[in-house]
Amino acid sequence: MMEQRLQSGLAALNLPVEGIPALVRYGDLLIETNKVMNLTAITEPEAVAQLHLLDSAALTRFVDLSGKTVVDVGTGAG
């Protein structure tokens, strides 16, 4: 489910799909860790893909990040 959502989302953003296994692993770890630490209210795999991962990737449509490394650190709890 998460992998399929990432596949279609990254394709729509014209972004490479090679990183999907790492993104799925990150999403799975987020969901698993959230069971013992309240990290997010978003816990459905497809929602994690869309709202945590693809929303961050969507920035590439508006900002030229060629040759740059970026990280989305969010805003923290609450």
Divide the 78 residues of the chain into consecutive groups of 10 and give the mean pLDDT of each group: 96 94 96 93 95 91 88 68
pLDDT in tens, 61-74: 899 888 998 887 77
pTM (2 decimals)?
Answer: 0.84
Per-residue pLDDT, 75: 65
The 10 Å Cβ neighbour count of residue 74 is: 9
State the DSSP H helix or E strand holding residue 70, giving kind and residue range, or none if neither: none
How far from the centroid of its chain's Cα atoms is residue 22's Cα?
A: 10
Cα dist from 46 to 16, 63, 66, 67, whole Å: 19, 25, 28, 29
Task: Give the pLDDT confidence score for residue 65 in this predicted structure.
Answer: 85
CB 33 within 8 A of CB 39: yes
Cβ(9)–Cβ(49) below 8 Å: yes
